[in-house]
Chains A and B, each alone.
Chain A
Amino acid sequence: MTDRKPLKIAIASGKGGTGKTTLSTNLAAYIAEQEEVVLVDLDVEEPNSGLFFKGELIHEEAIFKMIPQWDETKCTLCGICPKVCNYHAVIQIGPTILVFPELCHSCYACSDLCPTAALPMIPKKTGTLRDFGIGNLHFVESLLDIGEAQAVPLISKTKKYVAANYGNVSITIFDSPPGTSCPVMEATKHADFVILVTEPTPFGLHDLSLAVETMRALARPFGVVINRYGIGNDEVIMYCREENIPVLAKIPNNRKIAELYSSGKLMYRDFPEVENSLSDILEYCVKEVKGGIA
Chain B
Amino acid sequence: MALINSRSSIRAGQTSPHKLALNSTQRVMGLLVLATLPGLLAQTVFFGWGTLINVLWCVLIALGCEALVLKLRQRSLAVCLSDCSAVVAGVLLGLALPPFAPWWLSLVAVSFAMIIGKHLYGGLGQNPFNPAMLGYVLVLISFPQEMIAWLPPMGLEGHNNSLSDAAFAIFGSGVDAVSMATPLDVLKENSSLTINELWQANPVFDGMAGRGWLWVNVAYLAGGLFLLWRRVFTWHAPIGMLVAITIMATLFWQGSGSDSHGSPMFHLLSGATMLGAFFIITDPVSGATSNRGRLIFGVGVGIMVYVIRAWGGYPDGVAFAVLLMNMAAPTIDYYTQPRTYGHHRANKGMPKRD
Q: Do A and B come from one complex?
A: no
